[in-house]
A = this chain, B = another copy of it.
Amino acid sequence: MNWQPNRSLSTSLSKQIVQWITEQIQNGEWPVGTKLPPQRKLALSLGVNRSTLQEAFDELKANGLLLSKSGSATYVSNDSWNVLAKQKQTNWQHYIESSIHRANYQTIQLINEFEQDDIIIRLGTGELSPTLLPTAELQKSLSEVHLDGKAIGYSSPQGDFRLRQAIYQYVKKRGIETSPDNICIVSGGLQALQLIALGLLETGSFVFQNRFSYLNSIHTFQSFGMNLYPLADDQLAAGKIEQIRKKKQAILYTIPTLHNPTGISMTLDAKKSLYALSELVQLPLIEDDVYFELLFDEPTPAIKSFDQTGQVLYIGSVSKTLSPGLRIGWVIASTPVIKRLADIKMQMDYGSSAISQQIVEYWLRTGRYEEHIKHLKVELKSRAEYMDNLLKQYFGNIAAWESPQGGFYVWLKFHKPVVTTELFMRLLKKKVLINPGYIYAPNDAQHIRLSFAYSSEEEMKKGIEVLYQEITYMFEAP
């Protein structure tokens, strides 16, 4: 939604909004039953005060075009077609509400939307700053990649063979012995999870995970009736797992290196214990390893490197290192699992972008990828220190955190439960976006995932200052 009222016109802002909404209804863009965005969200995106929007809504309700139901939600009225002398229309809201997939949390929808706004300070974003992406080298490599007619046709189910060969070589350095036949290219790590949900699990399956988990912030498993089941980080009781998993297929998900959102990396011993447990209770394990290259120290081998029985599904990606826009990741698993995931992928999108696959193959094969990561780590380390110092300056007395060991994130824990949707919205009004802890663990109100990877030092400073003001307000609020 890019339209905003024009302040230079003589027509009042609220009249302009009335006209615009009427047009949306008239031309079928907002059919009967459409639920309007919450007022605060709509006001923000139209760049007007809530009172101005309220005025427009009042007029539209008087016209019979909008109506409010219980609570504050506003809908396009069932009579709107009558009012506008239009045909009856499909009630899309009915379709949406009864459909299978869950909507993103409203907080995440807002994050996705406002991340597109250039003047916002993105203090929580899980993404490298455009200045850290090797844009010029990527541009250069576009002319060095050699396309041929076959490569730009439909992909083979598991993805480009040369790319799989390059990945097979690359993961050897991670201790993983596999073969190109055991690799499936995916459009980023998230798609790997989607394929696992639809291709290996059933309604009612259990997905064991850490208490704070990336999986809570998405609905990949929950949309299909699967249960996320948190395990205390230090207490993976085999008996408990066995008891639960007797009922349904189950799997364990973790990010052993630079965990999202907590930033924790498991020791080698901890990895070995987890693998042993997984084997003992025959609970397959998803090792999401998309951050490991960004560890400031040398990483220990992947859990997948211990895997003799095809127990571990390993996920890698270039989204956190080279460019998220390429949308290239990979899964490494045993043959029946890989064939299955590849078959589902062919039924979902017929494979990943051939051009993106060619580019990643080129970067991996020529060593440019690892060269780039070396530089990137130096930059990230300096940013991490900068943010760490800022936090000490502002939050030393009211919060705790570990100094980052790599990656993007600081997992800030406030001494009081102040991280609420109210805080999130107050910050958004001041053009600062954070990732609140409650999207990673329901009911959490103490954590914020901060990122030092996206904002410039100047923006970090400004953002942290705004955060400090709003946090202070929350601490002092009655």
When chains A and B are docked, how far (Å) is the Cα of A187 from the Cα of B187? 10
Q: Is B202 in contact with A335, judged by CB distance below 8 angstroms?
A: no
Known: A151-B325, A307-B28, A311-B90. A355 touches B356 (CB 8 A): yes
Q: Is B334 in contact with A31, judged by CB distance below 8 angstroms?
A: yes
Kindly list chain B residues whose C-beta atoms are within 8 Å of the C-beta of A156.
Answer: 112-113, 115-116
Q: Is B191 in contact with A348, judged by CB distance below 8 angstroms?
A: yes
Q: Is B131 in contact with A309, judged by CB distance below 8 angstroms?
A: no
Using a Cβ–Cβ cut-off of 8 Å, how many residues does chain A contribute to the interface with B? 112
Known: A34-B336, A89-B311, A354-B325. A343 touches B148 (CB 8 A): no
Among candidates B99, B149, B355, residue contacting A142 with C-beta atoms closer than 8 Å: B355
When chains A and B are docked, how far (Å) is the Cα of A194 from the Cα of B350? 12
| Minimum Cβ distance to chain B for residue A360 (Å) | 10
| Minimum Cβ distance to chain B for residue A31 (Å) | 5
Main SS at interface, chain A: loop
Selected interface stretch from A216-224, A399-407, A424-432, A463-471: A216-224
- A150 near B: Cβ within 8 Å? yes
- Residue in chain B with minimal CB distance to A101: B198
Kindly list chain B residues whose C-beta atoms are within 8 Å of the C-beta of A73.
Answer: none
- Residue in chain B with minimal CB distance to A95: B200
- Residue in chain B with minimal CB distance to A94: B249
Q: Is A99 in contact with B307, judged by CB distance below 8 angstroms?
A: no
The contact string, 1 if C-beta is below 8 Å from chain B, for chain A 297-335, is 000000000011111000000010001111100000011
- A188 near B: Cβ within 8 Å? yes
- A109 near B: Cβ within 8 Å? yes
- Residue in chain B with minimal CB distance to A249: B95
Kindly list chain B residues whose C-beta atoms are within 8 Å of the C-beta of A356.
Answer: 353, 355-356
* 11 CB-based A-B contacts, threshold 8 Å: A28-B307, A28-B334, A92-B310, A93-B336, A96-B199, A99-B198, A128-B153, A139-B146, A154-B325, A194-B349, A325-B355
When chains A and B are docked, how far (Å) is the Cα of A48 from the Cα of B1? 60
Known: A139-B147, A353-B356. A95 touches B311 (CB 8 A): no
Q: Is B89 in contact with A310, judged by CB distance below 8 angstroms?
A: yes
When chains A and B are docked, how far (Å) is the Cα of A81 from the Cα of B310? 12
Please list the residues of chain A having a beta carbon within 8 angstroms of any beta carbon in chain B: 1-3, 24, 27-31, 34-35, 81, 86-90, 92-96, 98-101, 103-104, 109, 112-113, 115-116, 127-131, 133, 135, 138-139, 142-143, 145-157, 179-182, 187-188, 190-191, 194, 197-203, 218-220, 223-224, 249, 279, 282, 284, 307-311, 319, 323-327, 334-337, 340, 343-344, 346-356, 359
| Minimum Cβ distance to chain B for residue A115 (Å) | 7
| Minimum Cβ distance to chain B for residue A102 (Å) | 8
| Minimum Cβ distance to chain B for residue A86 (Å) | 7
Kindly list chain B residues whose C-beta atoms are within 8 Å of the C-beta of A133.
Answer: 149, 152-153
When chains A and B are docked, how far (Å) is the Cα of A309 from the Cα of B84? 12
Kindly list chain B residues whose C-beta atoms are within 8 Å of the C-beta of A202.
Answer: 98-100
Q: Is A354 in contact with B323, judged by CB distance below 8 angstroms?
A: yes
- Residue in chain B with minimal CB distance to A34: B336
- Residue in chain B with minimal CB distance to A157: B112
| Minimum Cβ distance to chain B for residue A397 (Å) | 35
Known: A34-B336, A133-B153. A349 touches B28 (CB 8 A): no
Q: Is B201 in contact with A95, judged by CB distance below 8 angstroms?
A: yes
The 5 A-B residue pairs with the shortest CB-CB distance, nearest first, are A130-B149, A325-B354, A353-B353, A28-B310, A152-B325
Task: Given contact pairs A101-B199, A135-B149, enumerate 17 new A-B contacts (beta carbons under 8 Å).
Answer: A27-B308, A30-B336, A35-B336, A86-B308, A88-B279, A90-B310, A95-B201, A99-B200, A115-B156, A116-B156, A139-B147, A190-B350, A194-B348, A326-B353, A327-B349, A327-B352, A353-B353
